[in-house]
Amino acid sequence: MRIIRCKDYADMSRKAANIISAQVIMKPHARLGLATGTTPIGAYQQLIEWYEKGDLDFSEVSTYNLDEYRGLSHDDPQSYHYFMCKNLFDHVNIDLARTHVPDGSDPDAQAACASYDALVKEAGYTDLQLLGIGNNGHIGFNEPDDAFSKGTHCVDLTESTIQANSRLFESIDDVPRQAYTMGVQTIMRARAILVIASGAAKAQAVYDMCFGPVTPRVPASILQLHTNCTVIADEAALGLCS
């Protein structure tokens, strides 16, 4: 695990965008695993800026998002699909047919997850997987558990995740209670992993991910076993890592 210390959120975002753009430059038909949430927004904005300057071309890139709320359709403003369009896809020359997000509108959880899993597998998994980290150490929506998850599956979100995500909804009652998420095993198949973290609220999770025991109680801790994992975090998120 490589840890890159950044001054602040802007610095973290620029460095993360640099790694993502290097991947796209080195392999124009790269398969990117993407995340939603607050943390990657700055990196996506930076990628858009470089695209607008003519420095980046997304025309051959394919993307595979980590997760989606169960019960939300693609065009629901709270859906992760909508988030990706608003924060990245609508602003670059990516072919929307090459962008993939689990289908939260499919009520058949097993079928929706199995078909997403097959899609990622048939693609050969991702070249670069971008991850945020939850305050409780979750990656994707793989919450603390007794065992590491494998493929895409339906999860019940924990109270702490519902609470953390409620800031993006009008009220906490509007936050969906379930999500479809790539499993830990699928995430670990990425050729390279890039974890980004910002702010003191992530400090414990970042410490546990990097230096704690590898345990499904802290899903991100398994990333210690990945052979090409980079953590880019700001001073506050690295506050417990001296």
Which stretches of the chain bind ligand F6R, using CB under 6 A? 35-39, 66-67, 132-134, 138-140
Catalytic residue list contains 143: yes
Residues ≥6 apart with Cβ < 8 Å to 224: 1, 209, 210, 214
Residues ≥6 apart with Cβ < 8 Å to 119: 64, 100
Measured in residues, the chain has a length of: 242
**Least distance to ligand F6R, CB of residue 24, Å:** 20
In the complex with ligand F6R, the residue whose CB is nearer, 24 or 33, is: 33
Return the amino acid letter for 210.
C
In the complex with ligand F6R, the residue whose CB is nearer, 39 or 79, is: 39
Catalytic residue chosen out of the listed positions 68, 143, 208, 234: 143
Rounded Cα distance, 104 and 216, in Å: 25
In the complex with ligand F6R, the residue whose CB is nearer, 45 or 57, is: 45
**Least distance to ligand F6R, CB of residue 138, Å:** 5
Rounded Cα distance, 148 and 59, in Å: 35
Return the amino acid letter for 166.
S
3-state secondary structure of 37: coil
In the complex with ligand F6R, the residue whose CB is nearer, 30 or 187, is: 187
Catalytic residue list contains 91: no
Closest residue to ligand F6R, judged by C-beta, is 132
Q: Are 226 and 184 in contact (CB under 8 A)?
A: no
Q: How many alpha carbons lie under 13 Å from residue 205 in its C-beta half-sphere?
A: 25
**Least distance to ligand F6R, CB of residue 146, Å:** 19
Catalytic residue chosen out of the listed positions 65, 87, 136, 142: 136
Catalytic residue list contains 76: no
Catalytic residue chosen out of the listed positions 67, 68, 106, 117: 67
CA dihedral 37, 114, 137, 226 (to 10 degrees): -110
**Least distance to ligand F6R, CB of residue 189, Å:** 16
Question: What are the phi and psi torsion angles at 63 (to 5°)?
Answer: -130, 150
3-state secondary structure of 62: strand
Catalytic residue list contains 235: no
Q: Are 223 and 1 in contact (CB under 8 A)?
A: yes
In the complex with ligand F6R, the residue whose CB is nearer, 106 or 143, is: 143
Catalytic residue chosen out of the listed positions 81, 100, 138, 226: 138
**Least distance to ligand F6R, CB of residue 6, Å:** 15
Which residues have a catalytic role annotated?
67, 136, 138, 143
